[in-house]
Amino acid sequence: MSVLNNKLALVSFCWRIIFPFIFTAAQQKRSTVTDWQSSSLKDYVYDGAGSCLDQMTVCLNDAVCNRYLAPVLQECTANCNLDRCQEATQQFYGSMPHNVAEMLVMCECEASDEDCLDMKNLLHGGTCGDEPRICQDTINLCVDDSNCRDLLRTFQTKCWSSEEAPCHNDLQNDECFTLMDPALILGADPECKMAFLDTWGTALHYPCTCKGVSNDNLLMCNMIHDVLHNRSHFMISWKSSSGPSKPPEINESEQGHTWSNDYLLYAFTAVLLVGVVILMPLAVVSKIWMARRDKTRFHHPQKSNCVVIL
């Protein structure tokens, strides 16, 4: 772990020194598509395995991912500026292919793995030491920002049917958020997951709480928190890489039923085979015998050519 921390510190230090000089305005406008085409992660398929510590290591070992991660390491350290941290985080996730964003956003940690949890907090945007907000406040902050509002509107459109989340264009409708039921979210839909990843780095993902919220607003607060901070709605079941996977268990009743069917099939095949072996020769012999009988029955005696001399 110390090696990884040293590597993170070195990357952060180097980029803090050279970042202002190498990224001119023209370079900042350059499309990142070409960069990611040269990445070893462009065809990476995330299968839910591996912790956040593992995924951070994967990113650091890729030249392109490492380069785009550097501003996040620079801006999202302890006691940082929240706006700059969120901007760096949004640019980081917005620049990369969705398969790489999914790898980093959907990673998880064992509850007892503090090193992994630190990496998870860094990957998902630091809090800069500020206290969590009430979840409704994070929504209001997003709605007040035109870019975040557009991303939130797309997220609602892709992840709920129009009947379930009737939202106006300005999103100034409490009923819109009340009907964003986590139980009805279309989290398995690729477009929904993509829309969720696109909101990363916005005010929506700042840590929020429902502590101290009145009963009248508690239901909505809990729903907002669940939708935005419970990534299991969009995730493949996380698999720890600490041990081998178990083979699927076989139901005994199904196994017995299958064996019974196989036994009957084998018995039927054996009877059929015996029948063919025994009956076929009998049929041939019978046919030959009948042919000879018919030949004898229809054979006329020949006239004698002998002459009797008296």
For residues 89 and 139, membership in a common domain is answered with: no
H-assigned helices in the chain:
2-22, 25-29, 33-37, 52-60, 63-75, 82-95, 98-105, 114-123, 135-144, 146-159, 174-178, 190-198, 215-229, 252-297
Helix (H) or strand (E) holding 76: none
Show which of 217, 242, 267 is a domain's final residue. 242
For residues 113 and 143, membership in a common domain is answered with: no
For residues 100 and 207, membership in a common domain is answered with: no
Question: Which residue shows structure tokens 């041939």?
Answer: 284
Write the pLDDT tens digit of every residue in 72-123. Answer: 988 887 788 888 888 899 889 988 999 999 999 998 899 999 999 888 888 8
Q: Model-level pTM?
A: 0.65
Q: Which domain holds residue 2?
A: 1-130
Write the pLDDT tens digit of every residue in 266-290. Answer: 454 554 544 544 555 555 446 655 6
For residues 1 and 126, membership in a common domain is answered with: yes
Write the pLDDT tens digit of every residue in 158-176. Answer: 998 866 555 666 565 566 6
Write the pLDDT tens digit of every residue in 192-207. Answer: 999 999 999 898 988 8
For residues 126 and 137, membership in a common domain is answered with: no
Helix (H, G, I), strand (E, B) or coil at 197: helix
Report residue 223: phi and psi, to 5°: -65, -45
Show which of 79, 114, 130 is a domain's final residue. 130
Show which of 216, 242, 268 is a domain's final residue. 242
Those residues whose C-beta lies under 8 Å from the C-beta of residue 190, and which sit 6 or more positions away, are: none
For residues 109 and 224, membership in a common domain is answered with: no
For residues 124 and 78, membership in a common domain is answered with: yes
For residues 15 and 119, membership in a common domain is answered with: yes
Structure tokens at 278: 């025994």
Measure the CA dihedral 137/143/145/146, to 10°.
Answer: 170
DSSP code of residue 48 = S
Cα separation, 127 vs 115, in Å, equals: 17
For residues 25 and 101, membership in a common domain is answered with: yes
End-to-end CA distance of the chain: 136
User: What is the number of domains present in the chain?
Assistant: 2
Helix (H, G, I), strand (E, B) or coil at 133: strand
Query: In this predicted structure, what is the pLDDT of residue 260?
Result: 44
Q: Check whether 15 has a pLDDT greater than 50.
A: no
Write the pLDDT tens digit of every residue in 121-154. Answer: 888 866 676 788 999 999 989 989 999 999 998 9
For residues 147 and 116, membership in a common domain is answered with: no
For residues 139 and 218, membership in a common domain is answered with: yes
- Is 247 contained in some domain? no
Cα separation, 227 vs 163, in Å, equals: 18
- Is 138 contained in some domain? yes
* Residues 255, 256, 262: CA angle, nearest 5 degrees: 90
